[in-house]
Amino acid sequence: ESGRVSYAGYMRGFGNVIVLSHDRGYSTVYGHNSVNLVKKGQYVKKGSIIGKVGRTGNATGSHLHFEIRLSGKPVNPLPYLK
């Protein structure tokens, strides 16, 4: 879903991370980016490139850390990815 960047910066453990705020209390987290391509407050449309995969923070190899949160708490992403 489209959303607004609520955080884009460095976070201990996650390295370069982006947090998008969505409707109905949902947010998505994208961590370990090599570079963030968006800034706090920016509106992002679904499908936009917001960062590049990397291995910043506590990571042993390049990968994307992805979370879906509801009211700030992580939820199982599988039902949302269908």
* HEC sequence for the chain: CCEEEEEEEEECCCEEEEEEECHHHEEEEEEEEEEECCCCCCEECCCCCCEEEECCCCCCCCECEEEEEECCEEECCHHHCC
CATH number of residue 44's parent domain:
2.70.70.10
User: Distance between CA 16 and CA 9 in Å, rounded?
Assistant: 5
Q: What is the pLDDT of residues 13-64, one digit of tens each?
A: 999 999 999 999 999 999 999 999 999 999 999 999 999 999 999 999 999 9
User: Is the Cβ–Cβ distance between 16 and 40 less than 8 Å?
Assistant: no
Residue span of the structural domain in which 50 resides: 3-80
- Amino acid in the structure at residue 3: G
Q: Is the pLDDT of residue 70 over 90?
A: yes
Number of domains in the chain: 1
According to the model, what pLDDT value does residue 82 have?
Answer: 80
